[in-house]
């Protein structure tokens, strides 16, 4: 408001700028090709400052994975309204997921492509996040199944398998949506609802798909 | 039949033994931890012979990815009977996929985990295989949709998205089935049919899931 601008920014602001630059660079160019020079330049800070704050390229990459994983999990949790009926919860969670991955394509590339391509310790970081998402989806499907009928025909292992299928499908679709011009987050979410919801709904009402009688 | 056993095996047999040993070692211990000594010992041949036939650890790993990818694609293609109705084709293809990944857990670990964790050129090898599977599934879903109604409400992009969802779900479930004691190939395939089929069938008959009216 007319005050003299300080050249000294709060540490948190600087760190965020560095992390933003790092996610963009790692996501677009990959872990190996990304240089600390490039990241520092994009963040508008000196390279020694990046090392001072974030220590090493490996630490910086790990910090990016953690930040992007937390943001994605938070976006999905915030998107689900627990007051909605089961299909509304699933729809709102998928909308939140695909909106977040569409709006943060570099972050999604870091999590889904880069973090898995460079061995440990990065894979472990992203596995923790994936397990958290699977647990959350398992809870959603389990709650919906209990809501649908009192004598649960869906055993825990079925619910666990369905959650794995849903998460795997969402991961695959998010990559496809980001790589395919013109696919919106809503369209990707609707594709997955169409794919998944009718089957889940049938299962929850104990109407499973039956293999043909002659199949072993 | 009583003849003196030759100590000289045909080259093809030796190579297969080496490749079997390499897939087992890479799949169980990972690319980096696997040693050529270990692979040679497991194959019952000398280390120089492995190098003579397969040149380097990198070439050997690439050869394993190619062999396992070809075997998986061939198993899925062979499993689908084109005379069956659409759900029978999908069911038989999924049975073949999960049977193959259950019977070849080391091969599946090489394709799904190891090949993606060690950068290029390995990722490209496995992406080629995945694209081939997606194209095959796209063909199956497209044919089923055309069979179901003459005026296709399912546009090509929808079919492409559904194929991505199905392949992603199958990949995720195969890893879960191999890591979870007692999950059979049939159970994994039935989980995915339950998840996917009802939705696909509705779509093919132009009965899509509709978002709630108040959702944007």
**Is B119 close to A123, i.e. CB distance below 8 A?**
no
Q: Is the alpha carbon torsion for A109, A112, A118, A121 positive or negative?
A: positive
Residue recorded with tokens 């948190």: A12
CB atoms within 10 A of CB B66: 15
**Residue A112 pLDDT > 60:** yes
Instruction: Look over chain B and give the mean of its residue pLDDT values, rounded to a whole number.
Output: 85
Choose among B167, B177, B209: nearest Cβ to A172. Answer: B167
**Which residue of chain B comes nearest to A187, CA vs CA?**
B158
Of the partner residues B116, B192, B202, the one whose CB lies closest to the CB of residue A116: B116
Terminal C-alpha separation, chain B = 76
- Cβ A77 vs Cβ A136: under 8 Å: yes
Which residue is associated with the tokens 């994975």?
Answer: A65
Burial of A115 (0-12, 13-18, 19+ CB in 10 A): buried
Please state the separation of Cα B193 from the chain's center in Å.
17
* Residue B154 CA, distance from chain mean position: 26
Q: Specify the pLDDT at position B216.
A: 47
Is a pLDDT exceeding 60 seen at residue A3? Answer: no
pLDDT digits (tens, 9 = 90+) for B73-131: 999 999 998 888 877 888 899 999 999 999 999 999 999 888 887 777 888 888 898 99
Q: What phi-psi label fits residue B211: left (phi over 0), alpha (psi between -120 and 50 degrees) or beta?
A: beta
pLDDT in tens, A203-213: 666 677 676 66
Closest CA to B38 of A63, B28, A29, A163: B28
> With an 8 Å Cβ cutoff, are B201 and A196 in contact?
no
Q: A8: which DSSP letter?
A: P
CA distance A186 to A193: 10
| Band of pLDDT at residue B37, cut at 50, 70 and 90 | very high
Count CB neighbours of A106 within 10 A.
Answer: 20
CB-nearest to B176 from A95, A161, A215 is: A161
SS3 A210: coil
Pick the residue from chain B with its C-alpha nearest to A120. B117
Size of interface A-B (CB pairs under 8 A): 154
- pLDDT above 80 for A82: yes
Cβ neighbours for A202, distance < 8 A, ≥ 6 positions apart: A208, A209, B194, B198
Probe site for chain A from B120, B165, B187 (most A CB atoms < 10 A): B165
Shortest CA gap A3–chain B (Å):
42
Cα distance between residue B128 and residue A174, in whole Å: 19
The Cα A155–Cα A118 span in angstroms is: 37
Residue keyed to tokens 């978002």: B211
Q: Cβ of A91 and B211 within 8 Å?
A: yes
Distance CA A58, CA B75 (A): 40
Provide the pLDDT confidence category of residue B172 given band limits of 50, 70 and 90.
very high
Q: Is A19 left (phi over 0), alpha (psi -120 to 50) or beta?
A: alpha
Q: Where in chain B is the domain with CATH 1.10.357.10?
A: 60-203
Nearest to B165 among A160, A169, A208 (CB): A169
Q: Which of A178-187, B1-10, B143-152 has the highest mean pLDDT?
A: A178-187
**C-alpha angle B22-A30-B66 in degrees, rounded to nearest 5:** 25
Highest CATH level, class, for A9-54: mainly alpha
Substitution target from B101, B194, B204, B205 for chain A, most A beta carbons within 10 A? B194
Q: How far apart are CA A121 and CA A124, in angstroms?
A: 6
CATH 1.10.10.60 maps onto chain B at: 9-54
pLDDT band at B64 (very low <50, low <70, confident <90, very high): very high
Residues of A whose CB is below 8 A from B137: none
Instruction: Determine the residue among B161, B177, B212, B215 to mutate to test chain A binding: the one whose Cβ has the most chain A Cβ atoms within 10 Å.
Output: B161
Domain A60-203 annotated CATH 3.40.50.300? no
- Token pair belonging to A168: 């795997």
Q: Do A168 and B170 touch (CB under 8 A)?
A: yes
Distances (CA, A) of B64 to B9, B22, B44, B52, B69: 21, 7, 18, 16, 8
State the smallest CA–CA distance between residue B147 and chain A in angstroms.
18
Distance CA A212, CA A203 (A): 17
Determine the average pLDDT of the residues in A134-157: 74
- Among the partner-chain residues B32, B91, B202, the one whose CB lies closest to the CB of A119 is B32
State residue B79's pLDDT score. Answer: 93
For chain A, the C-alpha Rg in angstroms (whole number) is 21
Between vectors from CA A159 to CA A158 and to CA A162, what angle results, nearest 5°?
Answer: 85
């Amino acid at each position: 408001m007319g005050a003299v601008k300080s050249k000294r920014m709060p540490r948190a602001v600087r760190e965020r700028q560095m992390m933003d630059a790092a996610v963009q660079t790692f996501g677009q160019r990959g872990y190996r090709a990304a240089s600390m020079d490039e990241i520092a330049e994009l963040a508008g800070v000196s390279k020694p400052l990046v090392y001072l704050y974030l220590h090493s390229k490996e630490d910086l990459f790990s910090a990016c994975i953690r930040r992007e994983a937390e943001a994605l999990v938070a976006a999905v949790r915030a998107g689900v309204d627990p007051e909605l009926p089961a299909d509304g919860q699933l729809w709102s969670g998928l909308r939140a997921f695909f909106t977040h991955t569409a709006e943060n394509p570099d972050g999604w590339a870091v999590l889904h492509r880069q973090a898995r391509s460079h061995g440990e310790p990065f894979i472990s970081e992203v596995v923790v996040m994936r397990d958290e998402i699977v647990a959350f989806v398992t809870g959603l499907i389990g709650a919906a199944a209990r809501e649908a009928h009192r004598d649960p025909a869906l055993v825990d292992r079925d619910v666990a398998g369905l959650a794995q299928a849903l998460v795997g499908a969402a991961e695959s679709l998010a990559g496809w949506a980001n790589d395919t011009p013109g696919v919106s987050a809503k369209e990707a979410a609707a594709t997955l609802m169409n794919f998944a919801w009718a089957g889940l709904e049938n299962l929850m009402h104990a109407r499973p798909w039956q293999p043909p009688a002659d199949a072993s």
